[in-house]
Structure 1
Amino acid sequence: TCSPSRSPIPVARPQPHHDHIVVLRRCAARARQVHARALRAGARQPRLWNALARAYASDGAPRLALLACLHMPVRDMYSFPLAFRLCSRLSAFREGLCLHAHLHKLGLAAHVHSLNALLTMYFDGGQQESARRVFDHMPQRTVASWTALLVGLERHSRVHEAMQVFCDMLGAGVTPDEAALVGTLSACTHCGCLEFGASVHGHSVVRGLGLDLVALGTSLVDMYAKSGAIHISRTIFERMSRRNVLSWSAMIGGLALHGLGLEALELFHEMMEVGLKPTAVTMTNVLTACSHAGFVEEGWKCFALVKEGFGIEPTIEHYGCMVDLLGRAGMLAQALEFVEMMPVEPSGVIWRSLLGAASTHGDLKMGELAMNRLALLEDPAAGDYVMLANLYAKLNCWEDVGRVRTRMNDSKVRKVSGYSSLELDGIVHKFVVGDRSHLQSDSMYEMLGAMNRVCLENSNAKCCYNRSSELKTSRFVSLEQLDEFSRSF
């Protein structure tokens, strides 16, 4: 039970000896012995109970540490930060709410370190609005307060809000620390805001935070790679004075993402030469590189290394990479055999990968099998129906195409329109085919019309409108024009 205002420990006058606190600081393993003595003596001094809770926590006994926090006869301002962190670690959010109430009852609600820990606890418990209210009502804020809010928002995919917090932080005259910079870069990575990420990079340089900070350097490598600037990413990686396995994994993943499979594999071998052991994420990136580059034999070797070479239990992601590798190579029979021999139950992602490969290579039997297996696990998405319809269309099975479209409509599944995006002045603008909702759409279509006329004059039909539209219906012949449309903006 959790009742911070009451304690099952009997109240008594004797005060604990100073020696108990010294023992706890020097030897956390003696915590149980000191705890028993404190109970027998009816100890009430907060300093002793705080030391006891910290000793339990450092000795790998977080539950006992939290119990010590909950059963404290008397608490002070130093009791709550650890207690809130323990509630986060153990997902003991009901107890955290009780402690929050007791914090107010004791008149300690202005203690910034307690509120910082409380803010993080609410984010860990998924109570984002409660976390925001804690921040908004803080009488004073430290850099840790801003960082906790920023990181919490980013972890819950509220990336634009996290980026705004970074701007507000600078506006309030607070200098971001490494954790705040890393959190902001992660937000930029998720929404593809290269320009904003580059400005964060510039801010770190001005502050004198160099690439000797591994976490910051790794975040920059990841942000630039996933935002399309792979050459900048590689340059930063090469200039990092210290790298850990996350740094190598990020760079390998970035190269794989850009189809630079050979470079990714070379970097992987270089990583092993320096004596670093890859993680499960590293091997996923390596297998992805093999898949994108079409290195089937090398892919099999790397997959064998996952368990036999590095002692990593293969995950569904590793199996998925192998299915994708075989599917891209047109080895659909081998891919199906691999799926059927997997020691784990194939997920929808596995069957979706096989469906995509079947659609690409025109294997009707495999495509129908993959779609049926996928439908047994989850409701097919719009893209799944589209892949199957495209497969039928490729084989001129038009009645089946209509049947798939009807099934898609009956399921009330709608295809999500493809879009192109462009970042300008820190804002990401999205453009959909035939879109006229943008405030500057008239200017953009005027520019695009001028571009179209130039293309026609030079007989470059690839970048032109469908002539039947006569520049009025705003209909494009392919998604390639989307990029030109966004660039005209």
Structure 2
Amino acid sequence: MTRIQINKRQFADSFDKLKNLVEKLGSHYNLLNQILAHSITIGIFHHSNFACRLLNAYKKISKLVEARKVFDEMPDPDVNCWTSLQNLYLNIKQPTKALLLFSELIVSGLPKPDSHSVVAALSACARTKDLISGSIIHGMVYKYLEKPRPSVHNALIDMYGKNQRIDLAQRVFSGIDFKDVAIWTSLLNGYLLNVDIESAKRVFDEMPQRNVVSWTAMIVGYVRKKNPVEALELFTRMRNEDSGEECNPTTFTIVALLSGCADIGALNLGSSIHGYVNKRSGFVSDVAVNNGLIDMYGKSGNLDSAVNLFNGIRKKDLFTWTSMISGLALHGRGRYALLVFDSMVESGMVPNKVTFLSVLSACSHAGLVIEGERLFENFVNRYRMKPQIEHFGCMVDLFVRAGCLEKAMRLIEGMPMKPDAVIWRSLLVACLGHGNLELAEIVGKKILELEPHDDAVYVLLWNLYRSKNKWEDALRAMKMMRDQRIKKTPGCSWVELNGVVHEFLAEAPGHHLSVDMMVVLDGMVKLSKLDADQLFFVT
């Protein structure tokens, strides 16, 4: 490469000016390219400090080709340049290449890895679930880093947790002298990822200090574990115990809480969170929060509020449209859901598989068989999407709700994948409703082949035989259930009263007012047995 010779003063002036331009205009791709060309022309590109700034500028705008070209042209890239390129690969979701780059760094033997490059490599191992490479890098920590930064310990705990080795994560944690809140939170997340909610709670309670990340992690853990009541109680604790700025709820916190309210239909609590959102200006225009509110109101029975929120959002994303369609589907407003779907397509938004699942569900709840079949055909032929088992299940549900049992059976038999017990169970319930004993027996056997300990199948078959006065068959179904020592799974429900969510589990008198409730229930039963005249005098 031919370089233009310039004196030291010109070099210094150009160097400083271009460095400032890189920092100020690094987000502008075309201007950045001009800076690169000019640096080559005046011969200062190969200055490692300047080239590294260029590399970082390209990294910020995720331009891999240009960043890699700058890196490859550098005569002696320092460890910062290697790490910048590693982080770029991580940013564009190519963790395998980030790990390979770290391997090149080790093999080259030129710059010595530092804490930042090790953290990037461990992050790559966490994302690729590469426990072997992660363990090797763990060994390198002791070789290359005399005093590893807390970020290295944090990355190690995170890597082991995401590789399902929480025991090793705990061992790393126990060996750390100084544990900051990030390290505690990484261990907490490790237990949550390994679905060990009790150990996660123990870690959370032992934390000397908590921030919004740790609070939110625990709240999300409870929501994913289908313990929304605990999640909502924890949010109350969060607001009461930690009033500092670092513990103010984030978008992730609010969305998780709204998801918990939606799961149990806690409308009053969801509305109170909506009130909190309205008081915080940063949340009012947040699309994710508004989407969560639409979902919560739709699932909690307040469709009008969901519609009002939806109409008030100017910039709707795909989840906004899908949440509204899903809410309409739950309320049996199939034709309105189809209108919203058509409006979404007209706006230029391309539906995804979740959107189609919602609109097919809307057709199912409203009995729109023809419309559902048309949408399913468009899903496959127009949008070139491959239906998943959930979409077939939705179509089966559509057919059985309309009484088209044979049609549903043909669809199941023609599925490209093996039908699961959920699909067969949907058909079995329809057989019970339509009294189709012959098909019910076939379907029941299919379910028991997949899930031999499914108590619901035995109960459904017993109900079906009993409705046909086939008592011998009904008793045989119950005997099979007893012989295999299968117990009926107790039902669970939630009721919200005066802002408090009460959980009830069948056959488990665990509620603190269960004795009082049984007295009232017993009284109601006795009253129901009185005739009208007796009831008049009692009241």
1:75 aligns with 2:145: no
In structure 2, the partner of 1:299 is 372
What amino acid is the match of 2:85?
Answer: L
Which protein is richer in helix relative to its size? 2
Matches of residues 298-377 of structure 1 in structure 2 within 5 Å?
Answer: 298-377=371-450
Per the TM alignment, residue 237 of structure 1 is displaced from its structure 2 partner at its CA by 2.0
CA gap 1:452/1:126 in 2 versus in 1, 3 angstroms: closer
Tell me the amino acid that sits aligned with residue 385 of structure 1. Answer: Y
Confirm or deny: 8 A CA contact 1:29 1:55 kept in the other structure.
no
In 1, Cα distance between equivalents of 2:533 and 2:441: 40
CA displacement at 1:150 relative to structure 2: 3.3
Match of 1:172 among 242, 263, 280: 242
| Residue equivalent to 2:350 | 277
CA RMSD across the alignment: 3.7
- Bigger shift: 386-395 or 117-126? 117-126
SS of aligned partner of 1:200: helix
Report the 3-state secondary structure (helix = DSSP H, G, I; strand = E; otherwise coil) of the residue aligned with 1:278: coil
User: Per the alignment, in what secondary structure is the counterpart of residue 397 of structure 2?
Assistant: helix
CA deviation after TM superposition for structure 1 residue 246, in Å: 0.9
Distance, in Å, in 2 between the alignment partners of 1:125 and 1:421 is 26
TM-aligned CA deviation for residue 316 of structure 1: 0.9
The residue correspondences of 1:405-420 to structure 2 (distance < 5 A) are 405-418=478-491, 420=493
Partner of 1:47: 80
- Residue 164 of structure 1 deviates from its aligned partner by 3.9
92, 106, 116: which is aligned to 2:148? 106
Taking the aligned partners of 1:274 and 1:55, their CA distance within structure 2 comes to 34
* Aligned-partner residue type, residue 501 of structure 2: V
Equivalent position of 1:213 in the other structure: 286
> For the pair shown, which has the larger CA radius of gyration, 1 or 2?
2
Unaligned runs of 5+ in 1: 1-15, 465-489
Partner of 1:11: none
**Cα distance change on mapping 1:17 and 1:146 into 2, 3 Å:** farther
Matches within 5 A, 1:448-459: 448=521, 459=532
Q: Is this contact kept in 1: 2:295–2:323, CA < 8 A? A: yes
Matched, 1:267 2:340: yes
Structure 2 CA distance for aligned equivalents of residues 315 and 230 of structure 1:
29
Residue 28 of structure 1: aligned partner: 64
Q: CA deviation at 1:290?
A: 1.4
Larger mean Cα displacement after TM superposition, 86-95 or 302-311: 86-95
SS in 2 for 1:415: coil
> Compared with structure 1, are the counterparts of its residues 326 and 160 closer, same or farther at alpha carbon in structure 2 (3 Å cutoff)?
same
Tell me the residue number matched to 1:482: none
Preserved CA contact (<8 Å) 2:277 2:284: no
Distance in 2 between residues matched to 1:204 and 1:460, nearest whole Å? 54
Deviation at 1:436, TM superposition (A): 5.1
Aligned residue number for residue 467 of structure 2? 394
Structure 2 CA distance for partners of 1:455 and 1:370, relative to 1, 3 Å: closer
Structure 1 residue aligned with 2:194: 126
| Contact 1:330-1:361 at 8 Å conserved across structures | yes
- Ranked by relative contact order (alpha carbons within 8 Å, sequence separation 6 or more), the top structure is 1
Q: Which of 302, 309, 320 is matched with 1:247 structurally?
A: 320
Q: Which has the larger displacement, 83-92 or 346-355?
A: 83-92
Q: Following the alignment from structure 1 to structure 2, what is the Cα–Cα distance between the partners of residues 133 and 104?
A: 32
Q: Which residue of 2 aligns with 1:257?
A: 330
* 2:114 partner amino acid: R
Q: Is the 8 A contact 2:55 2:71 kept in 1?
A: no
The answer (yes or no) to whether the contact 2:458–2:478 under 8 Å persists in 1 is yes
Question: Does the 8 Å contact 1:230/1:254 carry over to 2?
Answer: yes
Compute the displacement of 1:381 (Å). Answer: 1.2
Question: Whole-Å Cα distance in 1 between the matches of residues 393 and 217 of structure 2?
Answer: 35
- Contact 2:490 2:507 (8 Å CA) reproduced: no
Could you tell me how far apart the structure 2 residues matched to 1:94 and 1:113 are? Answer: 27
Counterpart of 1:62, as a letter, is: P
CA pair 121-380 structure 1, distance change in 2 beyond 3 A: closer
Shift of 1:232: 2.5
What secondary structure is seen at the aligned counterpart in 1 of 2:494?
A: strand
How far apart are 1:310 and its partner, in Å? 2.1
Deviation by residue 1:341-391 (Cα, 9 ceiling, x = unmatched): 222222222211111111110111111111122223332511111111222
Q: Kindly indicate whether the alpha-carbon contact (under 8 Å) linking 1:81 and 1:118 is maintained by their aligned counterparts in 2.
A: no
Give the C-alpha shift of residue 216 in structure 1.
0.4
Change (3 A) 1:330 1:460: farther
CA contact (8 A) 1:91 1:125 kept: no
Q: Which residue of 2 aligns with 1:64?
A: 97
Offset, 1:263: 2.5
2:511 aligned to which of 426, 438, 442: 438
Following TM superposition, by how much is the alpha carbon of 1:218 offset from its aligned partner in structure 2, in angstroms? 0.7
- The alignment partner of 1:312 has SS state of coil
Distance in structure 2 (CA, Å) of the matches to 1:444 and 1:393: 32
Where in structure 2 are there 5+ consecutive unaligned residues? 1-46, 107-111, 154-177
95 and 133 in structure 1: CA distance in 2 versus 1, 3 angstrom threshold = farther
Asked if the contact 2:188/2:204 (under 8 Å) is kept, the reply is no
> Secondary structure at the residue paired with 1:310?
coil
Residue 332 of structure 1 deviates from its aligned partner by 1.4
Change (3 A) 1:420 1:150: closer
The CA deviation at 1:37 is: 7.8
Contact 2:393 2:423 in 1 (8 A): yes
Q: Name 2:50's counterpart in structure 1.
A: 19
Equivalent residue, structure 2, for 1:92: 130
Q: Deviations over 1:153-201 (max 9, x none)?
A: 5345454443344233323012111121112222222343333322222
Cα gap change, 1:131 to 1:24, in 2 (>3 Å): farther
Letter in 1 for 2:88: A
Work out whether residues 88 and 121 of structure 1, in 8 Å CA contact, stay in contact via their aligned partners in 2.
no
CA distance in 2, matches of 1:67, 1:265: 48
Q: Do the aligned partners of residues 372 and 436 (structure 1) sit closer, same or farther apart at CA in structure 2, a change above 3 Å counting?
A: closer
Q: CA deviation at 1:213?
A: 1.3
* Residues 189-236 of structure 1, C-alpha deviations (whole Å, 9 max, x = no match): 234333332222221111124542111011111122222333322232
3-state SS of 2:429 partner: helix
| 8 A contact 2:71–2:81 mirrored in 1 | no
The separation in 1 between residues aligned to 2:180 and 2:469, in whole angstroms, is: 68
Report the 3-state secondary structure (helix = DSSP H, G, I; strand = E; otherwise coil) of the residue aligned with 1:251. Answer: helix
CA distance in 1, matches of 2:210, 2:79: 25
> Following superposition of structure 1 onto structure 2, how do residues 458-473 of structure 1 map, counting pairs within 5 Å?
459=532
Once the two structures are TM-superposed, the CA of residue 238 in structure 1 deviates from its matched residue by 2.3
Counterpart Cα distance in 2 of 1:57 and 1:389: 56
Match of 2:452 among 367, 371, 379: 379
Q: Cα distance, 1:419 vs. partner?
A: 5.4
The question of 1:151 aligning with 2:190 is answered: no
The residue type paired with residue 53 of structure 2 is V
Describe the superposition over 1:107-161 as per-residue Cα deviations: whole angstroms up to 9, x where unpaired. 5266869648845862685275776677667665543443344334534545444
